[in-house]
Amino acid sequence: MTCLTHLSRCPADFFVGTCGWGPGQLQAELARGNSWYCAATSPELLLAPRRAYQPSLWREALTLMGGEYSDVASRTLPVGS
């Protein structure tokens, strides 16, 4: 674990919380194909500093996937709308 006192002064995203699924629930959601989007990504995308004017991480990842995923990203409202 990285000590927070050693982080640079650039903005950082922290994802905190828990998720839980019953037996087989996650597999069923993935099989339905309309609840989750699985994507290969890079550390550069995940760790890039974000600014208010940039697309959200998930929107950028979907756009990079192209095709129907890019369409989903372009049809959704920004967070807070």
Could you tell me the residue ranges of all domains in the chain? 42-81
pLDDT in tens, 19-74: 788 999 989 988 998 778 888 888 888 877 776 666 788 888 888 899 988 888 88
Rounded distance between C-alpha atoms, residue 78 and residue 75, angstroms:
10
Helices and strands (DSSP H and E) totals, the chain: 4, 0
Rounded distance between C-alpha atoms, residue 77 and residue 81, angstroms:
6
Rounded distance between C-alpha atoms, residue 62 and residue 72, angstroms:
8
**pTM (two decimals):** 0.56
Residue 81 has a pLDDT of: 45
Residue 18 has a pLDDT of: 76
Residue 23 has a pLDDT of: 94
